[in-house]
């Protein structure tokens, strides 16, 4: 029989994310800060996982590694079975652009730039032409109820609206994984609940969600919780 190579999404027995013995040590002058000390994490396709821990426990460090924004000092990281631990910056950028949509606490939108242009930006890194970029950016904004805010700049939008623009931007490349670091951290209760409802909707459609938070209430809304303390997984 001829072996047929399987597309990653067909590898149902493979975690989307697999960290093994991941450490990350920051070197600041004479000081070495061990932010992660041997972390194992599996996230399966379609899961909604919350990573929870106090400030300084290593959550953002973990998110940067999961998001291919940073590399482990030691240990391995596989995405859909592919070992990306030793990828160079270009390799990481490529897998990031194909696989992951980011949502940050402070939205990270480009200032003095319209919602439409903000959402279109990730497509630039995939080499999509300007006209098609702007065309494709419309749908996720409309879907998130911002169809009448396409030309608004971040300063003209509320915090909740800015975070919805950021979610639209995370969705425009149709990534398998949405990685959200404290996405409700700067929002009032109602806007925060709205953002959580959107994440659940995306998860119901089959998208994998990894949510990072220090709030037990927010984490409780996920399917599964991973607790981080002092750079280690404690449960």
Ligand X SMILES: Nc1ncnc2c1ncn2[C@@H]1O[C@H](COP(=O)(O)OP(=O)(O)O)[C@@H](O)[C@H]1O
The contact set with ligand X (CB under 6 A) reads: 26, 28, 33, 35, 53, 55-61
**In angstroms, what is the minimal distance from the CB of 212 to Mg ion?**
7
Which two structure tokens, joined as six digits, stand for 123? Answer: 């497509």
Min separation Cβ 60 and Mg ion, Å: 3
Choose between 105 and 191: whose C-beta lies nearer to Mg ion: 105
Distances (CA, A) of 39 to 24, 68, 170, 232: 10, 16, 26, 6
Residue 171 partner contact from Mg ion, ligand X, none using kind-dependent CB cut-offs of 5 to 8 Å: none
Smallest separation, CB 226 to ligand X (Å): 12
State the binding string over 57-76 for Mg ion (x if CB under 5 A, else -): --xx----------------
CB of 185 to Mg ion, least distance (A): 9
224-229 sheet: strands from edge to edge: 100-104, 177-181, 208-213, 48-52, 224-229, 232-233
- Binding partner of 210, given ligand X, Mg ion, none, CB within 5-8 angstroms per partner class: none
Phi, psi of 22 (to 5 degrees): -80, 125
Nearest approach, Cβ of residue 53 and ligand X (Å): 5
For residue 47, give every residue at least 6 positions away whose Cβ sits within 8 Å of its Cβ, in sequence order, or none. 16, 208, 209, 223, 224
From ligand X, Mg ion, none, interface partner of 58 (C-beta below 5 to 8 A by class): ligand X
Comparing CB distances to ligand X, the nearer of 57 and 173 is 57
Closest CB to Mg ion belongs to which residue?
60
What Cα–Cα distance (Å) separates residue 71 from each residue in 79, 91, 125, 148? Answer: 13, 12, 20, 40
For 65-108, the DSSP string reads HHTTSS--SEEEEEETTEE-TT--HHHHHHHHHHHEEEEETT--
| Beta-ladder partners of 17 | 43, 79
8 A C-beta contact, residue 49 and residue 99? no
Least spacing, CB of residue 209 vs Mg ion, in Å: 17
Could you give the CA distance from residue 63 to residue 2 in angstroms, rounded to a whole number?
39
Nearer to ligand X, 65 or 80 (CB): 65
- Region 1-60 residues binding Mg ion, contact defined as CB under 5 A: 59-60
| Residue 60 or 162 with smaller CB distance to Mg ion | 60
CB closer to ligand X, 58 vs 75 = 58
Binding site for Mg ion (CB under 5 A): 59-60
């Amino acid at each position: 029989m001829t072996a047929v190579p399987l597309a990653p999404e067909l590898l149902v027995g493979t975690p989307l994310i697999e960290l093994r013995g991941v450490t990350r040590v920051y070197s600041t002058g004479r000081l070495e800060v061990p932010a992660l000390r041997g972390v194992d994490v599996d996230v399966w396709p379609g899961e909604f996982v919350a990573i929870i821990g106090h400030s300084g426990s290593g959550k953002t460090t973990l998110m940067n590694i999961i998001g291919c924004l940073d590399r482990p000092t030691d240990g391995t990281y596989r995405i859909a079975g592919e070992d990306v631990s030793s990828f160079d910056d270009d390799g990481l950028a490529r897998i990031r652009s194909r696989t992951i949509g980011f949502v940050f606490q402070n939205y990270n939108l480009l200032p003095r730039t319209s919602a439409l242009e903000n959402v279109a930006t990730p497509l630039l890194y995939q080499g999509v032409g300007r006209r098609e970029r702007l065309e494709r950016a419309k749908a996720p904004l409309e879907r998130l109820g911002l169809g009448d805010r396409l030309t608004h700049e971040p300063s003209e939008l509320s915090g909740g609206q800015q975070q919805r623009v950021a979610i639209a931007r995370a969705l425009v490349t149709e990534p398998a994984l949405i990685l959200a670091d404290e996405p409700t951290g700067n929002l009032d209760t109602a806007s925060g609940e709205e953002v959580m409802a959107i994440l659940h909707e995306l998860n119901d459609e089959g998208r994998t969600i990894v949510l990072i938070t220090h709030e037990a209430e927010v984490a409780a809304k996920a399917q599964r919780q991973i607790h981080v303390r002092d750079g280690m997984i404690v449960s």
